[in-house]
C-alpha cells in the first residue's frame, strides 16, 4: 500500500507498520510507534498532507494543514512532521474504515457508513450544503444523508465522491460535490456543487472503486471502467484530448481493471492479469514507457513485473510487485518535482529499497475472520447464515479486503480479483 505525495512517500509494510520519507531522503522513518498497525493510507497527487487508518479504527494525520485539512482541530500551519492521532470520539465513537485526501481537504468513511470531511470548503468539496463556503479544521459529518449507507469514498483535487447503497435499490449509486471545472464531477452543471448530488446511473453493475484528481475513473464489479473530466493530456485513455462532462465507457478490447490511481495529468491502472497500464502526460516519465511521449490510450508498462497495487501523484507513478522474489517490492518511475526539488526524469520502473515488503491492503481482517466470512457467504455452507442478510455491496467490499489474504474459498458472489488463483496475494 503506497501513497505518493508531492514532497514525500508513505507506505504500509506487510506487518502493518507505516513508514514515510521525503522525496530527497534515502531513509524511511517510522510513523507513530511500531505497535500501531495500519490498514489504509491516502494523500493527494499534489497536496501535502497524509492520512492513515489504524487497526483500532483511529485516524492518524500529518503533513500540511492548509485550511485545516488534517481535521485535527489545529490552526492551519505550514507543515507538521509529527503524526496526530484523531480519536474515534470525533466520529461519534465509530471506527474509521477508509480515508481519502484532496489538495486541501480530507474525507473519512466510518464502519457505520457515515461520511465526515474537513479542510477547504471554498468550492464545495466538504459537501455541507449550499452556501457553505467556509473551511473546517475539525471533522464534520455530511448531514443529512438519511437512507443511504456509504461504502466507498474518494477525493479529487477540490471534489468529493461517495458510493452509497440506498434503501430499496439493488445497485449502488455515486454522489459528488465540489468543483465542476472541466466536467470533473460528471454532472451537467458547470457551477460548484456545495452538497452531495447524485450522478445519473451508468454502466451495468455496481461501482467497485473510484479515483480522481481533475479527471475521474470509476471501476465497476465487472471490470468495466467509466471516465470523465479533464483530458488535455489524454489522461482519460479514450484516444483524444477532449474533456468529458459525463461518464464515458472506457472501450478497450481486453482490459479488466481492478485498481486505478489518478495523477495530476496521467492515469495508472492495474488489470486482472496484474499488468500495469498508463496514459496521459509523458514528458516527466510518469508513464513508465521508457520515453517522454504523451499517450492517449492505456499502454502497458512493459518493464514492470506483475503487480498487486498502483499509486500516482503529480509527476510519478508507483506499483507494488506481486510474484515470486519480487513480491512486495516497490517500483517507482517519473520525476521528483516540487517547489523545492527538481529531480531527473526516470521513465522506466525503478526499484526503491524498503525494509520489508509493501502490502496490498494491510492487515484489515484477521485470517481466521476471513475464513469465517467466506464460509458464511458460501452458497451451501452458509445457506442459513445471517451474513446473507447483509447488503450485497457491503459483502463485495469485505470479500475484496479478504482477498488480500488470498482467496478464502468459494462464495455465492466471490470472484477472484485476478485470473490466476493458484498464486494468491499476500498482505
Q: Check whether residue 404 and residue 340 sit in a common domain.
A: no
pLDDT tens for 289-324 read 999 999 999 999 999 999 989 999 889 999 999 887
Q: Is the pLDDT at 337 greater than 70, yes or no?
A: no
Q: Check whether residue 281 and residue 405 sit in a common domain.
A: no
Quick check: is 80 in a domain?
Answer: yes
pLDDT tens for 125-165 read 999 886 656 788 888 898 766 667 888 999 999 999 999 88
pLDDT mean over 388-411: 52
pLDDT mean over 25-38: 83
pLDDT tens for 98-126 read 999 999 899 999 988 899 999 888 888 99
Region of poorest pLDDT, from 78-82, 262-266, 413-417: 413-417
Q: Check whether residue 21 and residue 133 sit in a common domain.
A: yes
User: In this predicted structure, what is the pLDDT of residue 367?
Assistant: 54
Residue-range definition of the domain harbouring residue 415: 367-427
Q: Check whether residue 380 and residue 244 sit in a common domain.
A: no
User: In this predicted structure, what is the pLDDT of residue 134?
Assistant: 75
Q: Check whether residue 315 and residue 422 sit in a common domain.
A: no
Quick check: is 328 in a domain?
Answer: yes
What are the backbone angles phi and psi of residue 369, rounded to the nearest 5°?
A: -70, -35
pLDDT mean over 74-86: 78
**Above pLDDT 70, what percent of the chain?**
81
Q: Check whether residue 165 and residue 33 sit in a common domain.
A: yes
pLDDT tens for 175-185 read 999 998 888 89
**Above pLDDT 90, what percent of the chain?**
37
pLDDT tens for 221-256 read 888 899 999 999 999 999 999 999 999 999 887 788
Q: Check whether residue 381 and residue 348 sit in a common domain.
A: no
Q: Check whether residue 254 and residue 371 sit in a common domain.
A: no
Q: Which residue has the higher pLDDT, 274 or 188?
A: 274
User: In this predicted structure, what is the pLDDT of residue 338?
Assistant: 53
Q: Check whether residue 323 and residue 411 sit in a common domain.
A: no
Q: Which residue has the higher pLDDT, 283 or 27?
A: 283
Residue ending a domain, choose from 307, 328, 352: 352
Quick check: is 358 in a domain?
Answer: no
User: In this predicted structure, what is the pLDDT of residue 399?
Assistant: 61
Q: Which residue has the higher pLDDT, 138 or 413?
A: 138
pTM attached to this predicted model: 0.83
User: In this predicted structure, what is the pLDDT of residue 422?
Assistant: 32
Quick check: is 388 in a domain?
Answer: yes
Quick check: is 187 in a domain?
Answer: yes
Q: Check whether residue 176 and residue 256 sit in a common domain.
A: yes
Q: Check whether residue 207 and residue 157 sit in a common domain.
A: yes
Quick check: is 131 in a domain?
Answer: yes
Average pLDDT of the chain is: 81
User: In this predicted structure, what is the pLDDT of residue 223?
Assistant: 83
Q: Is the pLDDT at 34 greater than 90, yes or no?
A: no
Residue ending a domain, choose from 322, 352, 382: 352
How many domains does one find in the chain? Answer: 2
User: In this predicted structure, what is the pLDDT of residue 29?
Assistant: 85
What band does 391 get if pLDDT is binned at 50, 70 and 90?
A: low
Residue ending a domain, choose from 352, 375, 403: 352
pLDDT tens for 341-380 read 567 888 999 988 886 667 654 444 555 566 676 677 666 6
Q: Which range in 68-77, 199-208, 338-347 is most confidently predicted, on average pLDDT?
A: 199-208
User: In this predicted structure, what is the pLDDT of residue 236?
Assistant: 96
Quick check: is 359 in a domain?
Answer: no
Q: Check whether residue 153 and residue 129 sit in a common domain.
A: yes
Quick check: is 379 in a domain?
Answer: yes
Amino acid at each position: 500500500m503506497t501513497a505518493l505525495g508531492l514532497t514525500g512517500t508513505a507506505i504500509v509494510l506487510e506487518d502493518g507498520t507505516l513508514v514515510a520519507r521525503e522525496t530527497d531522503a534515502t531513509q524511511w522513518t517510522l510513523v507513530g510507534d511500531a505497535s500501531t498497525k495500519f490498514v489504509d493510507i491516502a494523500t493527494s497527487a499534489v497536496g501535502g498532507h497524509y492520512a492513515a487508518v489504524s487497526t483500532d479504527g483511529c485516524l492518524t494525520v500529518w503533513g500540511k494543514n492548509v485550511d485545516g485539512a488534517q481535521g485535527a482541530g489545529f490552526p492551519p500551519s505550514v507543515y507538521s512532521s509529527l503524526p496526530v492521532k484523531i480519536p474515534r470520539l470525533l466520529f461519534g465513537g465509530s471506527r474509521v474504515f477508509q480515508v481519502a485526501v484532496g489538495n486541501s481537504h480530507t474525507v473519512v468513511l466510518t464502519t457505520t457508513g457515515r461520511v465526515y470531511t474537513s479542510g477547504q470548503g471554498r468550492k464545495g468539496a466538504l459537501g455541507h450544503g449550499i452556501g457553505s463556503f467556509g473551511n473546517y479544521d475539525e471533522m464534520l459529518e455530511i448531514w443529512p444523508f438519511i437512507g443511504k449507507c456509504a461504502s466507498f469514498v474518494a477525493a479529487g483535487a477540490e471534489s468529493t465522491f461517495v458510493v452509497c447503497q440506498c434503501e430499496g435499490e439493488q445497485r449502488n449509486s455515486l454522489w459528488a460535490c465540489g468543483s465542476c471545472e472541466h466536467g470533473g464531477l460528471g454532472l451537467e452543471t458547470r457551477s460548484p456543487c456545495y452538497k452531495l448530488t447524485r450522478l445519473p446511473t451508468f454502466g451495468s453493475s455496481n461501482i467497485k472503486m473510484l479515483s480522481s484528481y481533475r479527471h475521474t475513473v470509476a471501476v465497476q464489479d465487472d471490470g468495466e471502467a467509466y471516465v470523465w473530466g479533464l483530458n488535455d493530456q489524454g489522461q482519460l485513455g479514450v484516444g483524444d484530448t477532449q474533456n468529458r462532462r459525463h461518464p464515458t465507457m472506457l472501450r478497450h478490447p481486453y482490459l479488466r481493471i481492478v485498481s486505478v490511481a489518478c495523477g495530476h495529468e496521467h492515469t495508472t491502472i492495474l488489470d486482472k492479469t496484474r499488468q500495469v497500464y498508463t496514459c496521459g502526460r509523458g514528458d516527466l516519465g510518469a508513464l513508465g514507457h521508457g520515453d517522454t511521449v504523451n499517450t492517449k490510450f492505456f499502454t502497458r508498462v512493459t518493464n514492470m513485473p506483475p503487480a498487486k497495487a498502483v499509486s500516482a501523484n503529480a509527476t510519478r507513478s508507483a506499483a507494488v510487485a506481486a510474484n515470486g522474489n519480487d513480491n512486495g517490492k516497490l517500483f517507482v518511475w517519473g520525476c521528483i518535482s516540487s517547489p523545492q526539488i527538481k529531480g531527473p526524469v526516470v521513465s522506466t520502473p525503478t526499484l526503491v529499497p524498503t525494509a520489508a515488503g509493501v502490502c496490498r491492503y494491510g492487515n484489515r481482517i484477521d485470517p481466521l475472520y476471513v475464513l469465517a466470512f467466506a464460509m458464511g457467504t458460501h452458497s451451501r455452507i452458509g445457506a442459513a447464515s445471517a451474513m446473507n442478510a447483509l447488503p450485497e455491496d457491503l459483502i463485495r467490499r469485505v470479500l475484496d479486503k479478504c482477498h488480500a489474504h488470498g482467496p478464502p474459498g468459494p462464495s455465492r458472489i466471490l470472484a477472484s480479483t485476478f485470473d490466476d488463483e493458484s498464486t494468491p496475494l499476500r498482505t
